[in-house]
Amino acid sequence: MKIKDLIKQDAGLQYAVDSLELMSAAGRRALLDTEFSTDAHWLEAEWQRLDRAIQTTLTFKFKKPYIDLRHCLMQLHDLRSTLASLASHTPLNEVELFEVKNLAHLNRIATGAISGLGISDILPLPATDDVFSLLDPDHTGIPNFYIYDSLDPRLTPLRRKLGGLQTSGGDPARIAALLAEQNEIQGQVCLRLSDQLSPWAPTLTAALDQLAYADLLLAKAQLAIDWHLSRPTLGNHIAFTGLVNPRLKHRNEAAHLRYQPVDITVTSGVTLITGANMAGKTVLLKSLGTAQTMVQCGFFAPADEAVTILFDGVTSSIGDDQDEMNGLSSYAAEIIKISDIVRRCRDQRLLVLIDEPARTTNPVEGKAIVQALIRLMQQSDSATLITTHYGQLGANCRRLRVRGFVEDMADIPLTPRNINLFIDYSLTEDLSGEVPHEALRIADILGCDSQLIDTARQYIEK
């Protein structure tokens, strides 16, 4: 699956994509066409290139070679359709020939800039000087293009005659005839140049793609610097230290709110996560999904340290997939999604993220569904994280609990606006099988009706 499809499912990835400082439409096309990769060799090589690009950016960002390269990328147009026409021997018009000449010009300047940055080994560009020379018969050295007189010996006397008639107000019919003859000759020149350029179509396409990739690589490097991303390593499990959700982190920082990174280790099988409401369980799942997707698309990870394994895909049921507009209830949308996940895990290794399954149906059947889900996912090669408020599930799986509310800030009055200051979002191993009972406490903190809360407590006591 490509990034252009993945961003429809992952708001965190969409945020990362929107935050990239791409210079060109070609660079954005390269980004959106990036595949979710299961190729360890490609990912290791891409992370190595990104590491080099980061060091280059930190060293050269305000120096001439880097500035020249960025300036080239700002002028880069996405000429895939033009180059496809050239490859199929379709004649190019004068504007398209200008685009080809400009591409060759930018490629030449970028080649020098990349050499000056010392990264020609990770961004090799093909030579296109012969293309530029063919489209620059007067040796102007500039990327502008028109049908030069030197491209056909008939043009000089024809244009001289035409200019004289136009200046003196000559016969309009004669002027129109000469213009038609000029257009015919120029069409022949375009046809001849197109035939001469056609064998260069693969080289020009390679130059365009590599320049687009250079744009993407530099943008990813700048994102890694700005967001303090870390280079992943491949292992036999997932271990993110200081995992963050960049979108939420930046939102909290803008609002001067606290944000707490989380450490999490994930292995194959099922991990059950419990915790109070507002304890960040849903955010944790989304953060993990975004991080794993970024890593397998060749980005660095939004964490202080990242060890990962490779999956065939990342899939989730976190509420966002429910679509009542299609005539489905919350439960129907959710159970269809979960059923699809179970089927896929029979022949794929997935990172599965499921948030409070069966929470919208009756507790007896809901609990049975969660127990069945845990049992089936334990039999697969996938790594599954399930958050739940159901207790005493009796399932044989790893359990984690979000620590939740803390009491060591008694000198600060607790209010709905600062409630996150009193929550510890870190995870701890939990063997009890119980779930936190803090719903009424949270309702009280949020200022809910006291009679409602007191009456609910009476039912609990009974």
- Is a pLDDT exceeding 90 seen at residue 17? yes
Distance, CA of 124 to CA of 119 (rounded, Å): 8
Distance, CA of 430 to CA of 324 (rounded, Å): 35
Q: Encode pLDDT of 430-452 as tens digits.
A: 766 566 666 666 677 667 777 77
For residues 301-328, average pLDDT: 79
Res 453: pLDDT: 73
Which of residues 410 and 377 earns the better pLDDT score? 377
Res 392: pLDDT: 67
Helix-, strand-, coil-residue percentages of the chain, each rounded to 5: 55, 15, 35
3-state secondary structure of 234: strand
- Is a pLDDT exceeding 70 seen at residue 414? no
For residues 336-362, average pLDDT: 90
Across 98-112, 136-150, 403-417, least confident range: 403-417
Q: How confident is the model at residue 423 (pLDDT cuts 50, 70, 90)?
A: confident
Q: Residue 340 carries which side chain, given as an amino acid letter? A: D
- Enumerate residues 6+ apart whose C-beta is below 8 A from 250: none
For residues 218-239, average pLDDT: 96
Q: Are 410 and 387 in contact (CB under 8 A)?
A: no
Q: Are 193 and 135 in contact (CB under 8 A)?
A: yes
Please give the radius of gyration of the chain, using alpha carbons only, rounded to the nearest integer: 31
For residues 215-238, average pLDDT: 96
C-alpha torsion 352→289→310→387, nearest 10: -30
Look up the pTM and report it: 0.88
Place of tokens 């944000």: 259
Across 197-201, 207-211, 221-225, 386-390, least confident range: 386-390
Res 415: pLDDT: 67
- Is a pLDDT exceeding 90 seen at residue 361? no
Distance, CA of 320 to CA of 10 (rounded, Å): 9
- Is a pLDDT exceeding 50 seen at residue 285? yes
- Is a pLDDT exceeding 90 seen at residue 46? yes
For residues 361-376, average pLDDT: 86
Place of tokens 């099922």: 270
Q: Encode pLDDT of 126-156 as tens digits.
A: 999 999 999 999 999 999 988 999 999 999 8
Which of residues 292 and 168 earns the better pLDDT score? 292
Distance, CA of 67 to CA of 261 (rounded, Å): 35
- Is a pLDDT exceeding 80 seen at residue 102? yes
Across 73-82, 277-286, 333-342, 369-378, least confident range: 277-286
- Is a pLDDT exceeding 60 seen at residue 421? yes
% of the chain surpassing 90 pLDDT? 61
Distance, CA of 193 to CA of 100 (rounded, Å): 11
Distance, CA of 160 to CA of 138 (rounded, Å): 18
For residues 336-363, average pLDDT: 89
- Is a pLDDT exceeding 50 seen at residue 287? yes
Q: How many CA atoms lie within 13 A of 83 on its CB side?
A: 21
% of the chain surpassing 70 pLDDT? 90
For residues 381-406, average pLDDT: 81
- Is a pLDDT exceeding 50 seen at residue 322? no
Q: Residue 1 carries which side chain, given as an amino acid letter? A: M
For residues 275-298, average pLDDT: 89
Type and span of the H or E element at 175: helix 172-197
- What is the residue-averaged pLDDT of the chain? 88
| DSSP for residue 385 | E
Of 220, 320, 205, 210, residue with least CA distance to 3 = 220
Res 325: pLDDT: 41
Res 63: pLDDT: 94
